[in-house]
Structure 1
Amino acid sequence: MKINKLSIVIPAYNEGKTIHLILNKIKAVELIDDIAKEVIIVNDCSKDDTEEAVARYREQNPELEIMYFKHDVNQGKGAALHTGIAKATGDYLIIQDADLEYDPEEYNDLLRPICKGFADVVYGSRFMGANPHRILFFWHTIGNRWLTFASNMFSNMNLTDMETCYKLFDRKLIQSIHLTEKRFGFEPEVTIKLSRVPNLRLYEVGISYYGRTYDDGKKIGWKDGVRAIYCILKYGLFKAK
């Protein structure tokens, strides 16, 4: 399958210290089949210099196509993704966090099942394959695995990592799905709603994970886990739209 452009959606909140580093990594990646890159940054009302850092980067690196949007009020990661998804124009779309936990060098690993005509959606799994992983929080890992298990019960899929950041979508498909969750509930909502798309071909590939600690700026907490459980029940058991 021929892909002309990949949209890379980056939700950003207080990532002024690292966003130029992830943009450097994105710029350096040479995508297979000469696929062009479109970067979409959505600043979710950061309180640091994220906006200034993006402006400097755009001025110094005009060769990288970057679209920039800003929320006037902090709404959450899911809301930033809604904005970025709506603005995307690429054939396919991938989500990229603004920190350095995920490596853009692995975009091609996710693109291959689509370019070969096997997949419509590809998830990058932190829990499969021999890729490097930083050793961090035991209970956080158990929580991720349990949420994936619960999501699989309602979606009837056998995913290993529903909570992964790296999700690669057919752009028209993801724009056609009505999404409402404004925080980290985006992950179970989009997964369960994708499971209801007729004849959807969803693949997983192993990816690396260079996790952050909370001192490094990690933002997800136990309240987001509770919300994820609620979303799994809301969209899985009660089939909310």
Structure 2
Amino acid sequence: MNLSIVIPLLNEQESLPELHSWIVKVMTANNYSYEILFIDDGSTDDSWQTICDISAKDSNVKGIRFMKNYGKSQALHAGFAKAQGDVIITMDADLQDSPDEIPELFDMITNGGYELVSGWKKKRYDHVVTKNLPSKLFNWAARKTSGVQLNDFNCGLKAYKNIVIKNIEVSGEMHRYIPVLAKNAGFKKIGEKTVIHQARKYGESKFGISRFINGFLDLITIWFLSRYGKRPMHLFGAAGVLMFIIGFLATGFIITLKLIKLYSGFETILVTDNPLFYIALTSMMIGTQLFLAGFLGEIILRTKNNEERYKISDSVN
């Protein structure tokens, strides 16, 4: 199979028939073998019924329905697990991503040597203050932190080799950073393509300004995980040992100074009356706790099991 098109959605019943027709038109024109995977992320409208109706008429259409809203990352995870195509295309269901971009994305993966290609909505139709400016700041920070030189990390229109999506773990709210996850997994051939951004035709945006705050917090998380996720002892253990040594040396200094004064006959004070004693004690305690945090992190990494990520109430094959 040439293509799997993975489409996460939430309350997009009006756009689904038009999106499906548009995708089929592109697939037919290019003679692709394909499947379309709609992942209903707990919609409260008739999106699921619309998916079932489309699937009844088109055997290439499959669907997954979550029991409640788990988020875009979980929807992509479910779609990736089920996708069978050689190339996987992800896109949003709101018609802001154009299916006409698919042939060029497919060609960049199959003939251009790329393992992942991310869309870049260079010209956007979003509000400048609430979306465009925060998005530019967010993408700048993501580039500097991750080392992945993309202009639009959050674009939903992306293309992947099958091997990429089968070897990355999309959890939490990490869908924004799939290119970074791919890089951390060892995939280096990551490209970018300027794509058309269309104004929303139906419904309202599901994302507010809070997504950028969450995005920056996730950026810190993924930076930490990429550097120390598989070796937490290297960070916490090293910091713990350093703090403990500082406290230990300070304690040694206090005791040595006390003994010298006693031996020389100088007036001295109780060790507990010396402010440095409490600094040393605190340093040793913090150092011990950091070391234990790193040690426990190593144990958890070696014993963790896959936790339940979402519950599926229905599916269409």
Residue 151 (structure 2) pairs with residue 160 (structure 1): yes
Deviation at 1:58, TM superposition (A): 2.0
**Corresponding residue number in structure 1 for 2:216:** 229
Deviation at 1:158, TM superposition (A): 1.8
Amino acid across the alignment from 1:19: L
Could you say if the C-alpha distance between residues 134 and 6 of structure 1 is closer, same or farther in structure 2, counting changes exceeding 3 Å?
Answer: same
Amino acid across the alignment from 2:82: K
Contact (CA 8 Å) 1:7, 1:93: kept in 2 or not?
A: yes
Q: Within 5 Å, which residues of 2 pair with 1:33-182?
A: 34-59=31-56, 61-62=57-58, 65-127=60-122, 133=123, 135-139=125-129, 140-181=131-172
Structure 1 residue aligned with 2:175, among 181, 186, 192?
186
**Corresponding residue number in structure 1 for 2:23:** 26
Contact (CA 8 Å) 1:31, 1:107: kept in 2 or not?
A: no
TM-score of the aligned structures, taking structure 2 as reference length:
0.67
Provide the C-alpha distance between the structure 2 equivalents of 1:206 and 1:117, rounded to a whole number of angstroms: 15
**What are structure 2's unaligned runs of at least 5 residues?**
231-317
Partner secondary structure for residue 25 of structure 1: helix
Deviation at 1:68, TM superposition (A): 1.0
Deviation at 1:201, TM superposition (A): 0.5
With 109-118 and 77-86 compared, the bigger mean Cα shift is at 109-118
Structure 1 residue aligned with 2:192, among 186, 204, 209?
204
Partner secondary structure for residue 194 of structure 1: helix
| Post-superposition CA distance 1:67-94 (Å, at most 9, x none) | 1111112111111111111111111111
Q: Within 5 Å, which residues of 2 pair with 1:1-16?
A: 4-16=1-13
Provide the C-alpha distance between the structure 2 equivalents of 1:169 and 1:100, rounded to a whole number of angstroms: 20
- Size of the alignment, in residue pairs? 227
- Of the two structures, which has the highest relative contact order with CA contacts closer than 8 Å and spacing of 6 or more? 1
Higher helix share: 2
Could you say if the C-alpha distance between residues 106 and 231 of structure 1 is closer, same or farther in structure 2, counting changes exceeding 3 Å?
Answer: same
Contact (CA 8 Å) 2:80, 2:165: kept in 1 or not?
A: yes
Partner secondary structure for residue 68 of structure 1: strand
Provide the C-alpha distance between the structure 2 equivalents of 1:231 and 1:199, rounded to a whole number of angstroms: 21
Larger of the two Rg values belongs to structure: 2
**What are structure 1's unaligned runs of at least 5 residues?**
128-132
Could you say if the C-alpha distance between residues 86 and 199 of structure 1 is closer, same or farther in structure 2, counting changes exceeding 3 Å?
Answer: closer
RMSD: 2.0
Dislocated runs of 4+, deviation >6 Å: none
**Corresponding residue number in structure 2 for 1:130:** none
Amino acid across the alignment from 2:219: I
Amino acid across the alignment from 2:25: A
Deviation at 1:116, TM superposition (A): 1.5
Partner secondary structure for residue 47 of structure 1: coil
Partner secondary structure for residue 34 of structure 1: coil
Deviation at 1:18, TM superposition (A): 1.0
